[in-house]
Amino acid sequence: MKQFGIFLFVIIVSGVFVGGLIFFPTKTAVVAPANVNEIISPTIEEVLNPTSIPEAITSTSYEVPSSTFLAATTSPTVKSTTTPVVPVKPPVKIPITISSFSGIQGEPVQIVFSGTKSTEDVSSVSVNGINLPVFAYKDAVQVVYGIDINHKVGSFSVIAKLKDETMVSSTLTVLERKKPTESFTIPDSLGGTNPVGEQNVVTLLNKENALLANLATNPKKLWTETFRYPTEIPVITDPYGYNRDTGTQTVTHKGTDFRAPIGTPVYAVNRGVARLVKTFTIYGNTVIIDHGQGFFTFYMHLSKTSVAEGTIVVAGQKIGESGGTGYAEGPHLHLTVRLNGTSIDPLKFFMLYGRPL
Ligand SMILES: [Zn+2]
């Protein structure tokens, strides 16, 4: 009986062991092959008590669910075969705008449009209520506003009407200019430096200035790009914008004086029409060139003029010779640049439309 019991125990243990050999390899097919040696060598205790088998072996987390497999393999296929639809946007129209600008009393200010290179896009422009001609310069649509030397300081409106009837606007800020004062004498020929002579000069100036304020102008732009200086070697002897004090009267110098001994050739700074050739008591022998649309240059105190009124002149054409005629302390060339009825600093103008000295 005892032998039979031992025999029966051996059979049971062997059966379980063999069953285990058959059972566990089926699990290793699912688990990573690296674990095979561990899995096929469980202890008897482990076989009898499955709860002691390491979690890694019994876990099914290594098996890839069919749903996951499908999702991983089918979705890229769907994406790769779909042609993306990109909406076609209409071309963006760049709006025409004007920036804000600032300038000093007595200087020209260049007001430039952005968003267009065609003057036809801009119907009209006004600055502080004054209509200005629109032109293109170096591919930029613009206007140039002459700020009078006695212009009020502060902010002023810039209003433009476009071709499509819309309006754009901006602001021009005018800043104060410092105006130094120097003493000046009056020659005996004009009455001398005394109240009578001073009054005589003021009366004559008012008369001559009134005539210069009403010059006819060509409605078209006559000037071309790049202004040149009126003398071959431009040297400044008297700047724009200071007050000449004669005692009881103050006269503001509204042009630039260039060094020019008598007989120095004087040239037109740009193309235009010789609008006026005349001898004045104060300004002496004078040539005025109309560059069109209310834009003029004045050449004064000449000893000689060599152009006829009404004729076209081109940039660099000789129009006369320098001198000291009229109210002048010595020979020189006085140049005035006038925009929208006001005389501005010629050197500032050359910086914008010619070349700096
Ligand atoms: Zn002068």
Average pLDDT, the chain: 81
Strand partners, 19: none
Q: Is 54 found in the same domain as 128? A: no
303 alpha carbon to ligand 1 midpoint, in Å?
15
323 alpha carbon to ligand 1 midpoint, in Å?
12
306 alpha carbon to ligand 1 midpoint, in Å?
21
Q: Is residue 243 part of a domain?
A: yes
Q: Is residue 92 part of a domain?
A: no
346 alpha carbon to ligand 1 midpoint, in Å?
11
217 alpha carbon to ligand 1 midpoint, in Å?
23
**Using one digit for the tens of pLDDT, what is the confidence trace for 35-56?**
333 333 444 343 334 343 333 3
Q: Which of 175, 198, 216 is the last residue of a domain?
A: 175
Grade residue 347 by pLDDT with cuts at 50, 70 and 90: very high
CATH number, domain at 234? 2.70.70.10
176 alpha carbon to ligand 1 midpoint, in Å?
22
**Which protein residues have their CB within 5 A of the ion that is ligand 1?**
255, 257, 334
322 alpha carbon to ligand 1 midpoint, in Å?
12
Q: Is 287 found in the same domain as 216? A: yes
DSSP collapsed to 3 states, the chain: CHHHHHHHHHHHHHHHHHHHHHHHHHHHCCCCHHHHHHHCCCCHHHHHCHHHCCHHHHCCCCCCCHHHHHHHHHHHHHHHCCCCCCCCCCCCCCCCEECCEEEECCCEEEEEEECCCCHHHEEEEEECCEEECCEEECCEEEEEEECCCCCCCEEEEEEEEECCCCEEEEEEEEECCCCCEEECCCCHHHCCCCHHHHHHHHHHHHHHHHHHCCCCCCCCCCCCCCCCCCCCCCCEEECCCCEEECCCCEEECCCEEECCCCCCEEECCCCEEEEEEEEECCCEEEEEEECCCCCEEEEEEEEEECCCCCCEECCCCEEEEEECCCCCCCCEEEEEEEECCEEECHHHHHHHHCCCC
Q: Is 186 found in the same domain as 168? A: no
Q: Is 347 found in the same domain as 214? A: yes
Mean pLDDT for 43-70 is: 36
Q: Is 163 found in the same domain as 282? A: no
Q: Which of 133, 158, 175 is the last residue of a domain?
A: 175
Q: Is residue 88 part of a domain?
A: no
Q: Is residue 273 part of a domain?
A: yes
300 alpha carbon to ligand 1 midpoint, in Å?
8
**Using one digit for the tens of pLDDT, what is the confidence trace for 283-327?**
999 999 999 999 999 999 999 999 999 999 999 999 999 999 999
pLDDT at 150 over 90: yes
Tokens of 173: 């800020």
238 alpha carbon to ligand 1 midpoint, in Å?
7
Q: Is 106 found in the same domain as 72? A: no
237 alpha carbon to ligand 1 midpoint, in Å?
9
Mean pLDDT for 326-346 is: 96
- The total number of structural domains in the chain stands at 3
Q: Is 330 found in the same domain as 261? A: yes
Q: Is residue 60 part of a domain?
A: yes
Q: Is residue 87 part of a domain?
A: no
110 alpha carbon to ligand 1 midpoint, in Å?
25
Q: Is 253 found in the same domain as 122? A: no
Q: Is 185 found in the same domain as 220? A: yes
Q: Is 140 found in the same domain as 64? A: no
Q: Is residue 288 part of a domain?
A: yes
187 alpha carbon to ligand 1 midpoint, in Å?
15
Name 297's Cβ contacts closer than 8 Å, sequence gap at least 6. 230, 268, 269, 270, 272, 288, 289, 291, 335, 336, 337, 338
Q: Which of 16, 45, 77 is the last residue of a domain?
A: 77
259 alpha carbon to ligand 1 midpoint, in Å?
11
94 alpha carbon to ligand 1 midpoint, in Å?
46
Q: Is 168 found in the same domain as 185? A: no
Q: Is 346 found in the same domain as 199? A: yes
pLDDT at 2 over 90: no
pLDDT at 18 over 60: no
pLDDT score at 81? 55
pLDDT score at 187? 86
Tokens of 110: 């260049």
The residue segments making up the domain with residue 208 are 181-353
Q: Is residue 56 part of a domain?
A: yes
191 alpha carbon to ligand 1 midpoint, in Å?
20
* Rounded-to-integer distance, Cα 121 and Cα 135, Å: 11
265 within 8 A of 231, measured Cβ to Cβ = yes
CATH number, domain at 139? 2.60.40.10
pLDDT score at 82? 64
pLDDT score at 355? 83
